Amino acid sequence: MSGRFEGKVAAITGGASGIGLATAGALLREGATVVLVDRDEVALKTLTEKHGPKCIAQRTDLLDAESCNAMVPEILAKTGQIDILHCNAGSYIGGDLIETNPAAIDRMLNLNVNAVMKNVHAVIPHMTERGTGDILVTCSVAGHAAIQWEPVYSGSKWAITCFVQTMRRQLMKSGVRVGQVSPGPVISALLADWPEDRLQKAKDSGALIEPSEVADAVVFMLSRPRNVTIRDMIVLPSNFDI
């Protein structure tokens, strides 16, 4: 542990599993205080007990407007500051558009797009007042390519790519850095919608990466000198063909 993030407070949405949990572990090892934001209260209790006092639970349901709006104020009441906001929570819909339904589309867009915009909107006054901060969003390689087998998911990530890069430009003179990490397929619950044969084929061919490998990229991005912004880092399995 180098302690590169000693004295920093990081809030990570979707922090109880997958990329969020892997990133939380990496930042804790580097000395940060980490707020795990998730709706899974049982998982939050288990994880904060495991990781100790520098790991703080924040039970938030990002799909509930009142809970989502209260997230940043509640975190600040617990920690006094937010140096890093990692908007990582998201969901996945694969397959042809006609195979899904309007409720699932609403849920995905609310979580993958609207909640991110609202969380960033909420944290900006705090960070700009302090003149420093990092906002990082988990996007996807699907935000860079029109992937025909996941039009709803890919559409949500294209929206996030646009939002992140416009906010980066809005905030670039405020001391607040904004960027995104764009992984290819990651072994996580987000791939639960993949057909089993496709998932197994991807595993066998080495076309999936682990959440920890995305977390490594996040730590690299956040640890750059303040005069350097990594605006986007695409992290792919070496055998991923797209």
Q: In angstroms, rounded to a whole number, what is the distance separating the alpha carbons of residues 182 and 138?
A: 6
Answer whether 91's CB lies under 8 Å from 113's CB: no
Q: Is 92 among the catalytic positions?
A: no
Q: Where are the beta strands (DSSP E) in the chain?
A: 9-13, 33-38, 55-59, 84-87, 133-138, 176-183, 232-235
Active-site hit among 153, 158, 163, 194: 153
Residues 6+ apart with CB under 8 A from 161: 139, 143, 144, 180, 182, 232
Answer whether 190's CB lies under 8 Å from 90's CB: yes
Q: In angstroms, rounded to a whole number, what is the distance separating the alpha carbons of residues 180 and 230?
A: 8
Catalytic residues: 153
